[in-house]
Amino acid sequence: MSDNFKSVPVKSSEITPKSVYLSRRDFIKAAGVIAGSVALAACAPQLTSTPQPTTAAQLVLNGKIDELGDPVNSFKDITNYNNYYEFTTSKEGVARVAAKFTTSPWEVEVYGLVKNPRKYALEDLVSKFQPEERIYRLRCVEAWSMVIPWLGFPLAKLLKEVEPTSNAKYVRFETVFRPEEMPGQHDRLYPWPYQEGLRLDEAMHDLTLLATGLYGGELPAQSGGGMRLVVPWKYGFKSIKAIVKIELVAEQPSTLWSAIGPDEYGFYANVNPQVDHPRWSQATERRIGELQRRETLMFNGYAEQVASLYDGMDLAKNY
């Protein structure tokens, strides 16, 4: 892990129950009382068999903030406001439509320009790589954002096991195609199944996560279960959900949104407040659960860790 990455992994047994979440007002009140104690946020208490309500102050002390000090969103917010066109274009409707989506058993095939192609059961990946909690900000191209406590493991661990060949330059991801359970996949406007891609060095960066859960539990269907990608310095559409295929390739892969709207959705999709979407500004964002807008941070606040990946590139041209 980069020395500059400040989030502290938390054991799954130490994670706040998902029924507990922060209100903005409570957090502000708590932060004023314990502002000097935030730096001590290292360990959370062991859960008892009957979890007790947790105050905003306890959540801060338990590390339920990101590295900029922002509190995590509630489980309700995270799982009831989702971009997931495979189910519906209604952000508030995804959870309802996805309620019967099957996430177990789940398999992921890793193949292409690798020495050890394999098909993995999700439970085997979880057992092998021991997911940890990482609190990441998620910034969507529509200018809204969340802070989410993911459970997952670095994609690099999986890629190192399959051993990319010297010809592998990119990683292509593909979502499950299951229109009988994902009614949005009947819409012929989109070239299903959903596909995304990263450069190999982006995929190997320690911040790039394969998420298998959130808030200490399984990854809900509406949040990308069985398994999704999380690339926190990029706009949310790069963090492909319900992954069943990971392919190592030599050429830059086609991606769904770039194929549909190349003038609006580039391959890199790095969060950049200086490059507007053609139909709206990216200079500010609205955190779900807040009324006020906040300034958008370059690379979503992860510039110190990832800016070097793009040295010498024109980030307005390579958007």
Measure Cα distances from 61 to 44, 52, 105, 141, 251 in Å.
8, 16, 36, 31, 46
Indicate if the pLDDT at residue 117 is higher than 50.
yes
Indicate if the pLDDT at residue 78 is higher than 60.
yes
Peptide bond preceding 17: is omega within 30 degrees of 0, i.e. cis?
no
Q: Are 151 and 226 in contact (CB under 8 A)?
A: no
- What average pLDDT does range 17-32 have in this prediction? 36
Report residue 62's pLDDT band, with 50, 70 and 90 as the boundaries: low
Residue 268's nearest CA partner among 253, 280, 282 is 253
Question: What's residue 47's pLDDT?
Answer: 31
Domains for the chain: give ranges and CATH numbers: 100-310 (3.90.420.10)
Report residue 42's pLDDT band, with 50, 70 and 90 as the boundaries: very low
Q: How far apart are CA 207 and CA 130, in angstroms?
A: 16
Indicate if the pLDDT at residue 110 is higher than 80.
yes
**Angle of helix 155-162 versus helix 122-129 axis, rounded to 10:** 100
Question: What's residue 18's pLDDT?
Answer: 40
Report residue 63's pLDDT band, with 50, 70 and 90 as the boundaries: low
Mean pLDDT of the chain: 85
Tens of pLDDT, residue by residue over 122-181, are 999 999 999 999 999 999 999 999 999 999 999 999 999 999 999 999 999 999 999 999
Name residues whose C-beta falls within 8 Å of residue 83's C-beta, 6 or more positions apart in sequence.
Answer: 91, 94, 140, 142, 236, 237
> Which range (62-71, 180-189, 208-217) has the least confidence?
62-71
What percent of the chain is modeled with pLDDT above 90? 78
**25 or 236, greater pLDDT:** 236
Tens of pLDDT, residue by residue over 243-257, are 999 999 999 999 999
Q: What is the pTM of this model?
A: 0.82
Q: Pseudo-torsion of CA 187, 83, 296, 150, nearest 10°?
A: -140
Backbone angles phi, psi at 198, to 5 degrees: -135, 155
Residue 237's nearest CA partner among 161, 175, 308 is 175
Tens of pLDDT, residue by residue over 229-243, are 999 999 999 999 999
Question: What's residue 20's pLDDT?
Answer: 37
- Which residue type is seen at 203? A
Tens of pLDDT, residue by residue over 249-300, are 999 999 999 999 999 999 999 999 999 999 999 999 999 999 999 999 999 9
Indicate if the pLDDT at residue 191 is higher than 70.
yes
Question: What's residue 64's pLDDT?
Answer: 79
